[in-house]
Amino acid sequence: MSFPLFRRPGAVVFLDDDPAYLDMLAVILPPRWPVSLFVRQQACLQHLQPEAERWEADAWTQQQIIERWRGGAALIPQILRYWAGHEQRQALTRVCVVDYAMPGINGLQVLQALGDWPGARVLLTGQADEQRAVDAFNQGLIDQYIPKQSPDIARRLVDAVQQLLDRPHPRQAQIWHATLSPAQQALLRRPAVQDELSRLMRSHWVEHVVLGDPFGVLGMDALGQVSWLQLEPATGLAELAELAAAQGLDEAALAELRAGRSLAGLELHQALGQAAPALAPAFEVGQGSGLLGALFSVDPRPLGIAPAGHAAWLARQGPRLVHD
């Protein structure tokens, strides 16, 4: 799938032996990125190498959510509690960018020394080092390489890092793939659906999880506002109307459901412990896809859960400084 089943903000690390270059990066890089800047190789390694264990602990937390779901626990409240109780997930570095030509060990050796650290690796090269970067890329040692002499290097660097931040992470994709049925997976693989979901995810959320039970996307924006994109195959509208009738919706609402003009958040409200399911306007998720969607606001406070938004967490991290 071209979009990640699980996405969250992550930090970016830069290593370069030129402090002036790092100072420039501190100014031009997008403010939405948590950024750490290092001038010494060893300090960078000391920052990143312990993260492998924290990445693993975070993946284990996600896996436990799946195991509890298999035991009958609802997914949505568990994810809301994960967002509220694991703020430091946002500090895990997703991308490391290093300069190749540095005194002592070069940038490629630094990236190799990271061992099983699971983030993406980018190598900045001068003209003389470009073939080494090509070879490293072909061997799978790095995810990207960018020649420093490239025209508009700042824009190219930002684009490359953002692409890696948006790329699905294999371990997380494997974990959350388990909640989806084969029929749901087939729907999500349709090109029109993938394009529309990618657009919705970029425009609405900085963090999201795609679920199969119930079928939809739980997302949170930078300010901590949570919403639910319910997904419903058009072939399931009659069954949805029957379930809604059993929960007491009137005939006018049922007609909206049968016609595909609205969807009812039955499973969402059940997961949140709310009695009366709301209706929301339906729209087609990709032209001709046979998949409908509807957006619902989610208020986790009745569950005693208050996830903090990425913007508030980022504001507490302080200014970008170059670490010696």
Would you write out the chain's pLDDT as a tens digit for each of its 324 residues?
A: 678 999 999 999 999 999 999 999 999 999 999 999 999 999 999 999 999 999 999 999 999 999 999 999 999 999 999 999 999 999 999 999 999 999 999 999 999 999 999 999 999 988 777 888 888 899 889 999 998 888 888 899 999 999 999 998 999 999 999 999 999 999 999 999 999 999 999 999 999 999 999 999 999 999 999 999 999 999 999 999 999 998 888 999 999 999 999 999 998 988 888 766 789 999 999 999 999 999 999 999 888 998 889 999 999 998 888 987
Sign, CA torsion 271/76/72/82: negative
For residue 139, give the DSSP letter. Answer: T
Q: How far is CA 141 from CA 44, 171, 323, in A?
A: 18, 18, 25
Which residue type, as a one-letter code, is found at position 105?
I
CA 317/CA 324 separation, integer angstroms = 18
| Residue 10 structure tokens | 């992550």
Sheet holding 35-38, edge to edge: 144-147, 120-125, 93-99, 11-15, 35-38, 322-323
Q: How many residues does the chain have?
A: 324
> CB within 8 A of 164, min separation 6: which ones?
94, 95, 120, 122, 143, 144
Indicate where the chain has its CATH 3.40.50.2300 domain(s).
6-171
If residue 323 lies in a helix (H) or strand (E), which one and from where to where? strand 322-323
Half-sphere exposure in the Cβ direction for 22 (13 Å, CA): 22
> CB within 8 A of 90, min separation 6: which ones?
8, 9, 10, 11, 34, 310, 313, 314
Place of tokens 């970029």: 202
Do residues 154 and 187 lie in contact, with contact meaning Cβ atoms separated by under 8 Å?
Answer: no
Q: Tell me how far apart the 2 most distant CA atoms of the chain are, in Å.
A: 75
CA 32/CA 81 separation, integer angstroms = 23
CATH class of 6-171: alpha beta
> CB within 8 A of 68, min separation 6: which ones?
78
CA 250/CA 187 separation, integer angstroms = 30
The pTM for the full model equals 0.93
